[in-house]
Chain A
Amino acid sequence: MNIFFQQVLNGLTLGSVYSLVALGLTLVYGILHIPNFAHGAFYMVGAYISFYLAGSFGLNFWLAMLCSAAAVAVLAMLSERLIFHPLRNAPALHDMIAAIGLLLFLEAVVQAIWGADFHRLPAPYTQILRFADLTAPAQRILIIVAAFILMIGLQIFLRRTTTGSTIVAMAQNREGAALVGIDPVKVSLLTFAISGALAAVAATLFAPINLIFPAMGHLVILKAFVIIILGGMGSIPGAIVGGMIIGFAEAFGAFYISPAYKDIIAFALLVIILSLRPQGLFPSEVR
């Protein structure tokens, strides 16, 4: 029972992190209509900023996370303004090339500043919680709880507030949204900011049980791509459910079958789901 519970916990942890990253990716898809390859770099930069603030300034974990989210939000907005906005009338391929360029650029900058070394963000809560014969490191519970709060908050923001609805509206129909008086510039910036902040939060939450290094974004971004394809490009519930599916598939696949096959399981799931539902699990509101 304990072992089973541990896999559930692990699936939830991985799923939460993947979902947060995929959410940002899916939101920006509504604006760019391509997957933003630079999203993995935002994730990595987020981890580095938290690491720097918590390490060099001794900032509290949560405060560091907030600052990092704000900084990466600004970085994401800058990239929208300086790179993606000027390319809005160019073919989608140009956006894609620009995104890859941004990814490589950010990685090189981080490696130039902090070097290729592995870094560690100390865990704010190192206790190991025990209920009966079940054990759970506090940091993992923290990741799950924080991710769920964030996902619920985002859902409320997008569905219940006017500002949030403008993001959904613009993802659904850009011209239509502009016709009813939604400012596309403002909405694009807002979307990029949210996506950057989500990546930074996910990275900061995950960093204490993982390592920080320039190539760390590659690991999660590949998974996030699979997730948004699985869940339906641009779909918000799709990103959350897709993240959980991949997280659980990895956790249970690695335990009950073999770690060697866990990626095969995740990708086999992708193929099966797409062959049954080519539009993804949740056909998106985005065209």
Chain B
Amino acid sequence: MSILSKMKSLAAGVAVAASMSGAAFAQEKINIGFTGPLSGGAALYGQNTLTGLQMAAAEINQAGGIEVDGKTYNFEIVALDDKYAPSEAAVNAKRLATQYNSPVIFTPHSGGAFALQEFNQQDGFILGAYTSVPEMTERGNTLTLRIPPSFAGYVETFVKTSMERSGPKLAMVGGDHDYAKAWAALFKPAWEEAGGEIVAENPMSYNKDTDFYSGVSRALAASPDVMFVGGASEPTALVMRTARELGFQGGFIIMDQAKLDEIDRVINDMSQLENSIGVMPLVSDQREGAKAFVERFTKENNGKIPGTETSYMYTALNAVAEAMKLAGSVDDPKAVMAKLSEAYGSLSPERNPASIDSVDEKGGTNARIVVAYVEGGEIVPVDSVSQ
């Protein structure tokens, strides 16, 4: 399928180029690169992030493209499949940078982003990393934009709220992939420092296991008050359901990779999620930009509900477009990078559903994080819980 779509986009590209060359007011094209999982177990996640970029590009093009330095440019998204493998992400990025001259390359996984950081400054492209690993912006790479806010911001609220509501005994049953390990490494000391106790530590392979029964019952044997879970939403839902089936009554702390609304769609029973804490699902976000985005997306996609990753990617490309205008250049990555913070700040709420107001000097976005808690079968913002 990917070959077919590549051929299609190639053919379309040729056709567009052919028709353009004849036109007097030729519009130039900016190839925005994307490398992410488009097949295999993480294909859905990759597709969701890509959809955000495509939606933003379509809207910008429809509005007439962007005008930089007297020329009008359109966006074209060039997507390559890396099957979630950092090595393939690196190969794809090389190709996107050389063959397509992409000034910005997006990737939705930390492994791929770290691989791209090895050469993005030499090859002269901005790395748009969709990952909330805090280390992403700590390595001194000057052309990295970390699209979502760092997950370090969640830890304190998660620890405080969960311990207050459910109790001090925690079982860690998150995933065993790099991202989950990074989360666990930050979360564990925070929990212990707040006076909690880790009674079981049992990471599981969320993407590879056929069944979570044994792993969960092992964690439950230590009778925890709270369980730390998280990987992709759907397997996370299975882990949580297994825990409830085995009689677990306590609370859940859900790593930000999994989303409460997607978990609920698998379990189909909000009461099973009682006392869970996690990131606020986009669809429950009451802020103006988010609401408008959900409405627009749902209308364009036959009632499908967008996730947070789609809105972040959508916002990111809008910000890149704005930054190019401000910098007066489409191919000077340093100049564009320098204007990103201002660009995010200047976006209207409709184009900024992720509610990001600025980018710090290291390339990380700043956003007001909203945390969700399930209480009485309803998702409520965490501020109102602690009142």
Contact = CB atoms under 8 A, between A and B. Distances in A.
Interface in B264-294: 266
B228 to A, nearest CB: 15
Interface string A1-32: 00100110010011001000000000000000
Interface string A34-56: 00000000000000000000000
B133 to A, nearest CB: 22
Nearest to B205: A259
B1 interface: yes
B204 A259 contact: yes
B208 interface: yes
Dominant secondary structure of chain A at its interface with chain B: helix
Nearest to B208: A219
Contacts of B217: 3, 6-7, 10, 255
B41 A213 contact: yes
B9 interface: no
B238 interface: yes
A124 to B, nearest CB: 14
B71 interface: no
A278 interface: no
A276 interface: no
B218 A259 contact: yes
A107 B39 CA distance: 9
Nearest to A214: B43
Interface residues of B, number: 31
B211 A13 contact: yes
A89 B294 CA distance: 58
A125 interface: no
A210 B210 contact: yes
A137 interface: yes
A220 interface: yes
B235 A211 contact: yes
Interface in A213-263: 213-215, 219-220, 223, 250-255, 258-260, 262
A34 B115 CA distance: 38
Contacts of A17: 210
B41 A215 contact: yes
B215 interface: yes
Given A3-B221, A254-B215, A260-B203, A137 B1 contact: no
Most chain B CB inside 10 Å of its own CB: which residue of A223, A252, A255: A255
B246 A135 contact: yes
B245 interface: yes
Interface string B346-364: 0000000000000000000
B247 A254 contact: no
> Which of B202, B203, B214, B218: most chain A CB closer than 10 A?
B214
Given A10-B214, A255-B214, A116 B44 contact: yes
A213 B210 contact: no
A6 B234 contact: no
B329 interface: no
Contacts of B204: 259
Contacts of A253: 214
B47 interface: yes
A14 B46 CA distance: 30
A42 to B, nearest CB: 17
A254 B218 contact: yes
Contacts of A215: 39-41, 43
Interface of B: 1, 38-41, 43-44, 46-47, 176, 202-205, 208-211, 213-215, 217-218, 221, 234-235, 238, 245-247, 266
26 contacts: A6-B246, A7-B217, A10-B211, A10-B214, A10-B217, A13-B211, A17-B210, A108-B1, A111-B43, A115-B47, A116-B39, A135-B246, A135-B247, A211-B238, A213-B234, A214-B39, A214-B43, A215-B40, A215-B41, A253-B214, A254-B214, A255-B214, A258-B202, A259-B205, A259-B215, A260-B203
Given A14-B210, A253-B214, 19 more contacts: A3-B221, A6-B213, A7-B214, A7-B217, A10-B214, A14-B211, A116-B39, A117-B44, A210-B211, A211-B235, A213-B43, A214-B40, A214-B43, A220-B210, A255-B218, A259-B203, A259-B218, A260-B176, A262-B214
